[in-house]
Amino acid sequence: MSQFWSESVHQLKPYIPGEQPKVSNLIKLNTNENPYPPSPKALAAIQTATNADLKLYPDPNSDILKQSIANYYDLDTAQVFVGNGSDEVLAHTFQALLKHDKPLLFPDITYSFYPVYCGLYDINYKTIPLDNDFCINIDDYNQENGAIIFPNPNAPTGIGLGLNTIETLLQNNPNSVVVIDEAYIDFGGESAVSLIHQYPNLLVVQTLSKSRALAGLRVGFAMGHPDLIQGLVRVKDSFNSYPLDKLATLGAAAAMDDKTYFTETCQRIITSRDVLYSDMQKLGFDILPSQANFIFATHPHHKAKTIAQSLREQGIIVRHFEATRINMYLRISIGTPQACETLIKALKSILS
Ligand SMILES: *Cc1c(COP(=O)(O)O)cnc(C)c1O
CA atoms within 13 A on the CB side of 79: 24
Q: Is 146 in the pocket of ligand 1 (CB under 6 A)?
A: no
φ/ψ bin of 62: left (φ > 0), alpha (ψ from -120 to 50), beta (otherwise): left
Average pLDDT, the chain: 97
d(CA 234, CA 176): 20
**CB distance 182 to ligand 1 below 6 Å:** no
Confidence of residue 256 (pLDDT cuts 50, 70, 90): very high
Q: pLDDT digits over 203-236, tens only?
A: 999 999 999 999 999 999 999 999 999 999 999 9
Tell me if the bond preceding 153 is cis, omega within 30° of 0: yes
Domain with 17 in it: what CATH number?
A: 3.90.1150.10
Evaluate: CB of 150 within 6 angstroms of ligand 1: no
Q: What is the pLDDT of residue 316?
A: 97
Question: Ligand 1: which residue has its CA nearest to atom 14?
Answer: 183
How many domains does the chain fold into? 2
pLDDT in tens, 258-267: 999 999 999 9
Q: Which domain holds residue 78?
A: 40-258
In a domain, residue 1? The reply is no
228 and 275 housed in the same domain: no
Of 16-30, 188-202, 213-227, 229-243, the range with the lowest mean pLDDT is 16-30
Instruction: Examine the fold and report which residue of 258, 276, 298 is the final residue of a domain before the chain moves on.
Output: 258
Residue 138 Cβ inside 6 Å of ligand 1? The answer reads no
**What pLDDT, on the 0 to 100 scale, is given for residue 25?**
87
Q: What's the 245 CA to ligand 1 centre distance in angstroms?
A: 19
pLDDT tens readout for residues 154-187: 999 999 999 999 999 999 999 999 999 999 999 9
Give residue 249's pLDDT: 98
Specify whether 27 is located in the same domain as 82.
Answer: no
- Clarify whether residues 59 and 135 are in a common domain: yes
Q: Are 236 and 62 in contact (CB under 8 A)?
A: no
Q: Is 181 helix (H, G, I), strand (E, B) or coil?
A: strand
Is the domain of 25 the same as that of 145?
no
Do 165 and 290 belong to one domain?
no
Distance CA 287, CA 102 (A): 36
Question: Which pTM was predicted?
Answer: 0.97
How far, in Å, CA of 352 to CA of 30, rounded?
A: 23
Given a cut of 90, whether residue 19 has pLDDT beyond it is: no
Close Cβ partners of 146 (under 8 Å, ≥ 6 residues apart) = 98, 99, 100, 101, 102, 103, 104, 124, 176
